[in-house]
């Protein structure tokens, strides 16, 4: 299990949020939970959500599906609640980090 690995969502919203991406640093791998960010189906978002494709909500392709990173719904998940890994967004890790930076440090004001 590595940072930016994509896992299937086993939760009740899996129809609109088929995947989550692990964002937690490997420094905390000994902990029993992982911080994940939902990857929401682009088609499930209301209307033309203005922030899709922005620094805050980058768009990715996972298993042929257009999904949007939704950091405002970031959550801690128990290890046994993570679904199977389906891939990695490590090559897009900077976009994910930029999104979290936007959420945590750039949006103040």
Average pLDDT for 81-92: 97
Tokens read off for 24: 């937690």
DSSP calls for 65-97: EEEEE-GGG-EEEEGGG---EEEE-GGGHHHHH
pLDDT at residue number 24: 96
> Does pLDDT of 109 surpass 60?
no
Q: Give the range among 26-40, 50-64, 70-84 with minimum mean pLDDT.
A: 50-64
- Provide the whole-model pTM: 0.91
Mean per-residue pLDDT of the chain: 92
The strand pairing partners of 36, in sequence order, are 22, 75
pLDDT at residue number 18: 98
């Amino acid at each position: 299990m590595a940072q930016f690995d994509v896992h299937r969502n086993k939760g009740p919203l899996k129809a609109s949020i088929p995947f989550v991406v692990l964002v937690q640093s490997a420094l905390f791998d000994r902990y029993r939970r992982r911080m994940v960010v939902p990857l929401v189906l682009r088609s499930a978002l209301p209307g033309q959500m203005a922030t899709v494709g922005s620094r805050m909500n980058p768009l990715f392709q996972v298993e042929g599906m257009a999904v949007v990173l939704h950091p405002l719904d970031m959550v801690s998940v128990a290890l046994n609640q993570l679904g199977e890994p389906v891939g990695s967004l490590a090559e897009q890790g900077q976009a994910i980090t930029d999104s979290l930076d936007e959420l945590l440090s750039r949006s103040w004001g």
